[in-house]
Amino acid sequence: MRAFALVVAVATVVILAAGKATAGIDPVKAAQVEQITPIIDRLPKIDKALTDKSAEKRVYQWAAEILPWYAREGIAYDVRVPESINWYLVPLGLGSSVVSYTFDIDAFTNCQMKGATQAPSGFAIVTGPVWMNGHYTLPTDSLYQDVGYIFTLTHELGHDQGICNGPSDYVESSTQLAAIEVASAMSLGGNKLAAASLLPEWRSIILGAMLYDALKSDDLPSYYAFLKSVVTPKEYAARMSKYRARFTDDLAKEQWAEVYKKYSYAVYVKAEWCLRGGTLAASDKRGSLFAPHVMVPSEQPLVMDDFVYLIENLGELYG
């Protein structure tokens, strides 16, 4: 499950942009956001082929594109397929559930093995269904056709490859890192929509790590000031509306700090380790959230070389 679309990355060599970093803000993270934001602004924002009428077919097309990359990147020995991929809407019911499933959860999956099916290459393992947030398919919604659904699907298909059982925070960070490497490889292969989906996700990881820092140091104003300096007024207004709904009191801030710690900060720390030349050793479901290792179905170290190349050459590739 992706708790929210907040995730992004890091550069090994960064040039600090003058005048934008704010007191109380990590200058390295700030420089990374400043570097990636103009590139994001130039990339496609929507997948025009995703419509309310084509949504079911379109998501299967992307699954067919994404799944082989998990094998190519050495993450999965046996590529598994979900029994179905569905779009969901939760407009009614308990208020807290409506809010969570509409605004905080992008997708979820039952990644347990359910059986097998015949494939051209032999038998393939089948997992439970994937459920995608249907607001990407609603013409009335601001999320309609947003390319972010592509990375969301990449993440959920990572769970289906076997990054499934264990402490939820460790499983989620491991899946996110595997999905980042897969999406990076797709992007370097020339898939522009994959890049357009990945880079905002990577920036959101950085911003989520910065937000965790701000919540722990009780310095949200510095984070808000920095955010306003780098994103468009519309994006700033949307993010601030989300934060106001989340950070209603001190207890809520503490609870959300734990969420950002698990789903943004932990991913950032491990991705930064890779950008500094490290690899993530394979480990089982008991792995630590912050140690430099990851749950990988193939039980091989996760070498995020395509991700590192992409981030180190952003200007040349997308400048």
pLDDT at 24 (0 to 100): 78
Q: What is the DSSP letter of 144?
A: T
Whether residue 265 contacts residue 207, with contact meaning beta carbons closer than 8 Å, is answered with: no
Q: Contact, 161 vs 76, CB < 8 A?
A: yes
Structure tokens at 136: 């990407």
Q: Using the 8-state DSSP alphabet, how is residue 114 labeled?
A: E
pLDDT for residue 22:
56
What residues contact residue 12 under an 8 Å CB cut-off, 6+ apart? 275, 276, 277, 308, 311, 312
DSSP letter at 112 equals S
Cα 124 off chain centre by: 26
pLDDT number for residue 14? 31
Q: For the chain, which residues score pLDDT lower than 50? A: 3-21
Question: How are strands ordered across the β-sheet holding 113-119?
Answer: 81-82, 122-127, 113-119
Angle at 288 between CA 68 and CA 5, to 5 degrees: 55
Is the CA virtual torsion 81, 2, 43, 277 positive or negative?
A: negative
| pTM, full prediction | 0.91
- List CB contacts of 221: < 8 A, sequence separation 6 or more: none
Q: Identify the burial level of 47 via C-beta atoms within 10 angstroms of its C-beta, where 0-12 means exposed, 13-18 middle and 19 or more buried.
A: buried
Q: Is the dihedral of CA 98, 102, 104, 108 positive or negative?
A: positive
Whole-number Å distance between alpha carbons of 33 and 233: 16
Beta bridge mates, 302 = 280
CA-wise closest residue to 130 among 67, 202, 194, 54: 67
